[in-house]
Structures are given as structure tokens and as C-alpha cells.
Structure 1
Amino acid sequence: MGADRPVLLLGGTGEARDLAARLVAADIPVVSSLAGRVAQPRLPVGEVRIGGFGGVDGLQTWLREHDATAIVDATHPFAATITEHAAVAAHATDIPLLRLARPPWIAGPDDQWLTVPDMAAAAREVGRRGGRVFLTTGRQDVGVFAGIDSAWFLIRVVDPPTADLPTHHQLLRSRGPYDLDSERTLLSDNQIDVLVSKNSGGELTRAKLVAAAELGVDVIMVQRPAEPGVGTTVHTVDDAEDWVLSQPTCRRGV
């Protein structure tokens, strides 16, 4: 086989960028794949491809054409489609698959969470409550809340949403990580009653939940979608690096 058979790293997360840097430092050929949903993404070190594969068939074709040695799915916990495609493609091509999934957040004794199964349920709950809402679910889900007139929304996004927006809203374009002091100030200054969040896990955006608990702000927490039980799952970059290094084919010239 060729000398540059790559690991395909499905990325877009901080964990993926960290892992890419470690693999490059270990002289492991790696191609990081980003979905391209953010206009100016934070790029990992090493080779990068941006954009979709054209469905699961396109992903299988890419894996075969590039003679990939392994797949690491380090995508966002709510990127359900690519995670499903990776599982199907790994099975079809007999390529080892690792899922690097950060642990979900768990409510503590001071948290006031209502856990809902999906974004539609979150929107129904917001419509029922009204009030002043801090919406932190990303630009792709804003349209679910567009028909709610009983609430005012502070909508934090990286790029401007393309969907319809709620009647009463303010856009806040910002990129994490966020510190506790600024999150506490943001909630207080905007008199937020309800925080809506996906259960993404990780530390980059956790400060908003700590601030909400301190200030007595209710949280509507959207559960993660179910993932296919294919391949091995780890929860830390250390374990993901160990897994890649343990694969006999993940070496130059092998």
C-alpha cells in the first residue's frame, strides 16, 4: 500500500483539533474532515477537507479511493447524520471505527433543568412559559422557535441564521469558549428567565450552566440523539490517541 494511507478524522470539535495535532506530531497520516457549516472554522493542523461526502455512498467511495486505515468520528454529539454514515461506511468497508464522544453534562443539586427529547419539545416548553430566553442551540435550530410570540430571545450564534427568526429577538454573534464571569453578566444584564441548550457536554460552553445555577435561571436541556452502537467509543482525547496508535495499519508505509 501507499506510504500515506490516512486516518479519516471527522471533526469540527475542540477534541478533534486536539487529536489531529497529536496524530500529526506522532507522524500518523491524518485527514480532518469538516462539514463546512461555519463560514470561518477553526482549522486543525495537518491536511483538511471541507464539505460533505455526498451521503454514505460518497463516504465509502472516499475511504476506498484514499485507502483509509481507520475512521475517528469526533464530530459534535448532535451531528447524528454523519455519525450514522460513519458507522454504515465502516461496516461496509471493513475499516476500524472509533467514536470520540465527550460525556454529556449531568445536572447537579443546584441546577434547575427540564430535560426534553428534541428541539420541537424545547420550543413547545418555551412557548408555554414565555419570558426572556437565552437560546444557545446554534443557528440551524433557530427556525424551530420562529413562531413563538410570547417570549423574547437572546440568540447566540457564530454565523447568522438563515431560517426565520422569532418576532422578538436580539442576535448575539459570538464564538466560545466562554468564562463564568461573562456568562453571569450576560444572563443578569439581559434578565434571562430560561436558558435553552443542547446537552453537548465539554468545558468550552459549560460556564453558562454554572451561571444559570448560581442565578436561579431555569434550563431547558435537549437530550442527545441516539447513536448507532458500531465500533469502539471513548470519551477522552488521550484514549482516542491510544486507540489510533494501537491500530497496526496506522503507520506510514504500512
Structure 2
Amino acid sequence: MPSTLLALNWKMNKTPTEARSWAEELKEKYAPAEGVELAVMAPALALSTLAANLPAGVAFGGQDVSAHEAGAYTGEISAAMLKDVGAAYVVVGHSERREYHGETDAVVAAKAKQAQANGLVPIVCVGEKLEVRERGEHVSSTLAQLRGSLADVGEDVVVAYEPVWAIGTGKTATADDAEEMGAAIRGLLAEQYGEKAADIRVLYGGSVKPDNIAEICGKPNVDGALVGGASLKVPDVLGMNDALR
């Protein structure tokens, strides 16, 4: 069984100075939980600061990556750049990137492949909007999105299921909802990757907090969480880490 992954997504928060203070506070108070991996997905400008100040054993990664190796793509960050600073992961296809930047499944797959080509593990995000769930089409819609986002992508990947209606709203899918989708995703992964699918971690994201993470991650097909708001304060991170012990 793969370790549980607690992936913290800061989104567009924290300057490098604030990131250093956060990392130093974490280093002072953090006690690793057996079988739990902690990783911080931070703005690109904060990654070098995290590399120098995070506790030993805590990984970090980017929140996005270019679909291109290098070249005339002003403002973009390449996978090689992320790898060079010490990143282990990168988030691709987050619902905010899909909605605000028009990213398609094909773009997400291209980014995931670029990440893998440079030794990074992509965290591929998928999830449905509220109207899709209300129509009862949440499973088929999310699996179609995932299938497109994993086209020609290797098995060294993490999948994060984030129902769009639960991101930053305070609404949380139930643990059973997370398990239903986790099991469906696991089935698709088995179709694509065979026995290797058992080692692919499936995360849940969407208003995860210290008081609900244990129930959600206790389900058989939920291998961790991609956490937004609760990732910004060290006490909340420590609470989630402790809840997973």
C-alpha cells in the first residue's frame, strides 16, 4: 500500500518571507506521522525558501508547470526549473486553472507528461461542478475528464479528486462520496495501468480540515488529501498530520 499523501496547496498566498516563517514554525513543531508523507505546493517564488527551511522529509512542489520544455513562453515555469530547485511534485489541471485559464484535458496531459519527463510526479486534478452532480453524472463526467487528462501519461502519477462545488466553499463531500469516486477512479486506473494502479495514490480535496480528514482518508480508496485553506496555518497542518496517525 502506498503512503498517505497530505499535499498542501497554498494557491496564490504567502510571499517568500511569509513562506520562510511558516517553514520555520513547522520545523519547530512537526513530528512525522508513520505512513504519512507531507508535501507543500507553493508559488514558484517560494520554492527556494522552502527548500532551505522545511523540516527533513517534507517534500514540496509547484502549483503549475508549462507544457513546453523551454523557449519563448514568457512568464511560464518549466518542469526542469521546478526539478532544479528540488521540487518533487507539481499540481496540474486544478479546477481553477481549468476554469480561469481555459486548460483542457489535452493541455493537462501535456503538462503531466512534461513533469514526468523531468522527474516530477504530477498531481492530476479532476472533479465535477454542482450541476453535474445534481444530474447524477458526477462519476461519468469525472472519469471522462481523467481519461483525457491521463492520455499517454505514465503511471508515476497522483490523482486528486476535487468536486468543484466543495473547493473553498466550506461544503465537503461526505467520506462515502469521496470513496465512491475514489473507487471509480481506481477502476479506471486499473484499466489503464493494470496492476501498477494499486500503487497510485488517489487524493480527495475540497474543504478538508483537521476535524474531517481522518474519516475521509480512512476510506479504502482515498490515499490522502489535497488541502487548500487549511494548509496556510501551521496549527491546522499539524492537526491534520496528527489526525492521520
**Both proteins in one fold, TM over 0.5:** no
Give the helix-richer structure, 1 or 2: 2
Structure showing greater radius of gyration is 1
Q: TM-score, normalised by structure 2?
A: 0.29
Structure with more relative contact order (C-alpha pairs < 8 Å, separation 6 or more) = 1
Q: TM-score, normalised by structure 1?
A: 0.28
Give the strand-richer structure, 1 or 2: 1
